[in-house]
């Protein structure tokens, strides 16, 4: 059986710098594989980035 760390290493993620609280966090693909979704770990501000054709190959973003 895989542990939690091994599962997260296999899941697709992007890095987000949350400017609201000056913290970095990984966010992962949602269950429908339509977006990366997560929230700021301090103030719980939500962020969602759609996955689609013609998108970007960037892996790191800032949420302002």
User: Residues 6 or more apart from 54 whose CB is under 8 A from it?
Assistant: none
Q: Which pLDDT belongs to residue 7? A: 57
pLDDT at 1 over 60: no
CB-based burial of residue 57 (10 Å sphere; 0-12 exposed, 13-18 middle, 19+ buried)? exposed
Q: Which pLDDT belongs to residue 38? A: 96
Inter-residue contact 18 to 45 (CB < 8 Å):
yes
Phi then psi for 51, rounded to 5 degrees?
-105, 130
pLDDT at 2 over 90: no
Q: pLDDT band at 3, cuts 50/70/90?
A: low
pLDDT digits (tens, 9 = 90+) for 13-57: 999 999 999 999 999 999 999 999 999 999 999 999 999 998 888
């Amino acid at each position: 059986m895989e542990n939690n760390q091994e599962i997260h290493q296999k899941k697709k993620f992007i890095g987000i710098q949350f400017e609201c609280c000056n913290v970095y966090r990984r966010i992962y693909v949602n269950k429908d594989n339509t977006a990366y979704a997560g929230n700021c770990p301090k103030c719980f501000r939500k962020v969602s980035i759609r996955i689609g054709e013609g998108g970007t190959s960037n892996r790191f973003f800032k949420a302002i």
